Every structure is written in structure tokens, then in C-alpha cells.
Structure 1
Amino acid sequence: MKCPSALGVLIYFCSAVSSQGAEFGELRHKLVEEVAASARDDGFPLSPRVIAAMEKVERHRFVPAWLVPFAYLNHPLPIGHGQTISQPVVVAVMTELLNVKNGDKVLEIGTGSGYQAAVLAEIAKSVYSIEVIEPLEKQAAERLKSLGYGNVTVKMGDGYYGWPEAAPFDAIVVTAAASQIPPPLLKQLKPGGRMVIPLGMQFVTQYLMLVEKRADGSVTTRQIVPVAFVPLTGGH
């Protein structure tokens, strides 16, 4: 999961600016090929359904206008309010780890730009997404609606407490780092369900964790890879 060099960014910028419009599809395809290769090299081969979702979602629709030329870099990008749109390979790996199926109901904590929600919506039956920052929540909700993602519901709130009215969920993804697994989220996860969450403090090594809830309600956790996410915020 390497970051591009400064020269690579410059070359990409020049080529992308001259190839907006119809060429975005080609850029996206190249990005997905890079993401699939990177994930495979790191021991996380992507399933066809995750690759198809990544191919379909137009990442340039989810970044600020001035960053559109960089949308198909395998790199996180700022979206304002101290938040970022995650690196595509991280989005792909988190989606893969969730093992989402067509009939599943998924909860996302941290809507951000809406990109992860869109990828999940290409696979799941429904996605419920919570964002604590009001301007981002409003922008993401409008963006997802305009792009036709009618199976995504977005609301503003403290994601630590989940969405009890819509629970239980087949899968839960948290896109901000927590110091511990929030108990309300564990409660809202179905038996047999999976949660993917980064754990750790900001500026300290964080790890992506896979949490699985067994049929008897017991919980197992597995450390996956080091990551760097903004902290989970809210009134908790």
C-alpha cells in the first residue's frame, strides 16, 4: 500500500487534466488493477464483486473539484473539516473483509464523502451511514442521492452509538479510529456478522481489526494490517 512519489503525482496530474470526461473510465480501470495487485501482494485477494464495485463507483465524484485530477491515485485525499477520503486499496480491503452479500444490511460509521458507502451499496441490499460533521453529512447525502444510490440512508449523529432503530446489521464498517470497539456497535451486529474497525490513537500505530460475532453471541477479533485513520469523534 505504497504512496506515489512526487514525480508520479506530477505526471499523473498532467495526464489526468488532459483526459477528463470519457477517459475517467480508463483511469478508474487502471486504478482498480493497481488496487487489486496491491491487495493481492499484501495477502488480501479481492473477490470479483468487490472489484466490480470499485470499477463502477466514480471516485472523482466524491472529491473536491480542485482534487478531481488526483481522484484516481491510490492515495487518500482531503475532503475538508480535517477529514479524508480513504486510500482506494484500504476501501477495497475493508469491503472484502466484511464479506458483504447481496441481501445484506450494512452500517457505516463515518460517511465522509460517501465513497465507501457507494462501494458497499453496489454489493449490499441497503447501507445505513452516520456522519458526525453536519456539512459533510449534508454533502454526502445529496451526492449519493444525485448519483442514484437510493439504497443508502445517511444521517448526522455520533457513530459510537450506532443506529439502533435500523439494527441489527449483517456487517459494520468504521472509517475512523477508535480506542476500543464501541459496545453499542457489537450489540447491533447480527450473530454471524462482521465488523471492520481501525483501533488505536491518532499519531500512534493503529491496526485494522476484523471483529466476528459467532452464532452464540461470542466475539473474536483479528489484527489485520497497520493503518492511519482520523479519530472517531463525538460526544461519547
Structure 2
Amino acid sequence: MNGNLPVIGITVSSTMHQDNLSSILNTAYSKAMIQAGGLPLLIPTVDVEAARRTLDLCDGLLLPGGDDIDPSFFGEDPIPLLGKVNPLQDECEIGVLKAALDKNKPILGICRGMGIINIALGGTMIQHVDIEITNPIKHHQEAARSMPTHSITVEENSLLYDLTERKTELKVNSFHHQAVKKAPSRLRPVAYASDGVIEAIESMEKGQFILGVQWHPEELNSFLPHTALLDKFINACRSNKKRLQ
């Protein structure tokens, strides 16, 4: 591979596999980064300082989907419908994210990753949309991961709008029950589902690439707006690499 490819750090979940604590990542993330022109570097979430030092080798950061975020990180007790949590992973990902912010590296959060961005900067989360949202649509689809199942609206004056070929409406896939409740002052919501669930957040600062999306664009490689989003994330990482050379 070309040595000039931007290196994309992707945090990796820690979970039990065949009775062993293992690092797990859906291969769709790595494939999507390679297809968009990046080189994935997996960052195990087992040690905060090691994860931060690994980030030093990267030109951008991707925070992927995964298990629920421990509600203690946003000041709440767990509700009965909360899924499996891993506080050490939450702590590691928050640490890596803050290191990326300090170094002004492009950041993309997908599903759970969007939540990590939100709480790391002081936001709060809905623990389960089915009980905290009035008349919710289905946010955890049973259709194939590569199939969009509901629409979202996108604000025109936003990074997301520019990244997705200037579309004000997108069809997305959906595999979550946690969601952003309140965004911190540093971030702003820029996309919504029809039931009001926040579907994307981004930095308030112009020229800073911090974006969280609630859906999974890495699974939607047959749909131009979603591949364009990933391509332009990689372009931002490539520009960051050149800036530091």
C-alpha cells in the first residue's frame, strides 16, 4: 500500500469470545476505511494511556458502534432496559477522543461512537428511545444492515450537509436504542429522525472535523451520500497528515 495513505485509528470493543476476553470489531469498518483510501489501525480499549499513545500514529479517529455506554458517565443510574456496558472501554474511548481533540485530528463517531463524542464533551444520553421518546419509530431494525429503513432530515448549514452531497433528506439504517438527549455547547445537532431523535451532531467550530452519526454508513456502500461522507472524512485525515509532515 502507498505509504502516504492516512492512518485511521479505530477503537476496538472488548468482549467475551469463546470464554476469553477478546478485542472485537465488525470488519465493515476496516473495509470502508480501505475503500475510501485510508489505512485502518485498530486501537484496543484495554489501557487508556496505551490507547492514547497509539493515536499518535494516526491521522484521524473513528469511534465505532458497540455496546451501551455506562450511564454513570452522564450522571444517571441504569434503567431496566439498559444493555451490556463496559466502563473500561468507555473510559478508554473518552481518553482517546480527548487526545484527538487536543491534537485537532478529524473525528468520526458512528452510533455508539456518536454517544461517546457527546458525553465526553458534557452532553447527556437517552438510555432507551422506546420509553423516553413519544411515539418513537423503529430504531433497531431487523432488516439487513445494508438496507436503509427510515428517513432523517439534515440541516443545510452544516458539515454533514456538505459531506453527503448536499442532501436535506437521507435514508439511513438503524441499530440503536440509546441516543443523544442533550448536546453540549461545543456541539450542535444537525439531523433528526421524524420522531425527534437526534441523528447527527457536529462541532460548532468552522473548519474542525468532529462528526457523530447515529446510523452506520460503513454498511451502506451502495448509496452515494454515505460513501461520500466516508470519502470526505478520509480526505480530512489526508489533509491532516500533510499538515503534520
Q: TM-score, normalised by structure 1?
A: 0.32
Higher helix fraction (1 or 2): 1
Higher relative contact order (CA 8 A, sep 6+): 2
